[in-house]
Amino acid sequence: MIASSLLYGLLAAASTANAYSHVKSINYSVVTGIFQQDDNATDPSTFNFTASNFGLIDRSYPSDSSCPDRKHTTQWQRLAHYISTLNKKAKNNERYSLFFMGRHGEGYHNAAETYFGTPAWNCYWSELDGNKTVTWADAHLTDVGVQQAERVNTFWKHLIKDEKITTPETYYTSPLYRCLDTAKLTFSGLQLPHKSPFKPVIKEYLREGISAHTCDRRSTKSYIKKKFPDFKFEKKFAEKDPYWVKLQAEPRADQDARSKAVLDDIFSNDDSTYISITSHSGEIGSLLRVLGHRAFSLSTGSAIPVLVKATTLYADAPATTTMPYTPQKTCAAPPAIRDSSCNDCSCCT
């Protein structure tokens, strides 16, 4: 009893302190009408970002008349000018940034899910590190995944040379191997400005939603450092994965809360207008929810640009309660069923 009232006292003291501190909170919204992907009429399952100039809509902007030499200026150059005018006119607490969010290329875990079928993958195989021939714990890219990343690299070369796109000023990536490798293959060997080279920073909170799957468990910091010596780690990056727990899953609300936290962290510490993120299907989905973008699911090796308006508010930050992880059911042997009617592993054989 004494212990718990002491604890209550500490919590009460902490929340009083918060009430006085007017915590900074950042509100995000998407500037729509710039990219096809934010339009409900665009079907994510058939959309091809490399065939459509990254989805950039052919249009005029209110700032075009002040754009130097309009006739010889590409859509991307006029967009850059527009974003620059938006930032010049923005209030002190407002800012516009263009995010390029890329999903990793196909990993061994993706190929294994296709091979075994989703029920057998989710309820049995994904909890193992691999089988006799393939490892999918912290999965590496398959040959297909490497090719996908190389194709995006070729696409960036085209965007830089022909479209005069403004390349990212900073690069962030998930700590999972498939993203580290995708970022490296995508952005290596490009003609980048000297002031914004490819110097990626690894951020823990850009990792995939945590599930019982071993492909969501990251490698140690020393291993990553050995494999990707040019990548930097964010501060306080732990040697061993502190978050993955055997047979437990991170609730979606927790994932969205850390997606918001990582965006707040980026916006609070990085002045860049052009930002690249290499991450996962589930995590990019979560980032899009936090930014207020419509759902837009990405196939392996695809990317999406999002023009974001960030507004900093000085108010009491809304309380975020963290939910405990939820235990995951599995099967002792792979279920024979192949269709996805067995998400809860009720079809164990």
Ligand X SMILES: *[C@@H]1O[C@H](CO)[C@@H](O)[C@H](O)[C@H]1NC(C)=O
Binding site for ligand X (CB under 6 A): 27, 29, 40, 48, 50-51, 111-112, 115, 131-134, 292, 294, 313
DSSP string, 184-197: HHHHTT----TTS-
Residue tagged active-site, from 104, 109, 140, 213: 104
Nearer to ligand X, 80 or 120 (CB): 120
Helix-strand-coil percent breakdown of the chain, rounded to 5? 40, 15, 45
Of the pair 114, 220, the CB lying nearest ligand X is at: 114
Taking CA 208 as the corner, what is the angle to CA 191 and CA 145, rounded to the nearest 5 degrees?
A: 50
Least separation, in Å, of the C-beta of 222 and ligand X?
A: 27
> How far apart, in whole angstroms, are the C-alpha atoms of residue 57 and residue 32?
11
Q: Which residue is nearest to ligand X (CB)?
A: 29
Minimum CB separation of residue 13 from ligand X in Å reads 27
Q: How far is the CB of 269 from ligand X (least distance, A)?
A: 21
Q: Which residue lies nearer to ligand X by CB, 181 or 204?
A: 181
> Tokens 């809860």 appear where?
344
98 versus 112: smaller Cβ distance to ligand X: 112
Asked if 94 is an active-site residue, the reply is no
Burial of residue 190 (number of CB atoms within 10 Å: 0-12, 13-18, 19+): middle
Q: Is the separation of the CB atoms in 258 and 224 below 8 Å? A: no
Minimum separation from the CB atom of position 333 to ligand X (A): 14
Annotation marks residue 104 as catalytic: yes
Residue of 113, 204, 208, 250 marked active site: 208
Nearest approach, Cβ of residue 299 and ligand X (Å): 8
DSSP E strand boundaries for 223-293:
232-233, 248-249, 274-279
164 Cβ contact partners less than 8 Å away, ≥ 6 residues apart: 74, 76, 77
Specify the DSSP element, H or E, that contains 29.
Answer: strand 24-30
For ligand X, the closer CB: 178 or 203: 178
Whether residue 61 contacts residue 78, with contact meaning beta carbons closer than 8 Å, is answered with: yes
Among all residues, which ones are annotated catalytic?
104, 208
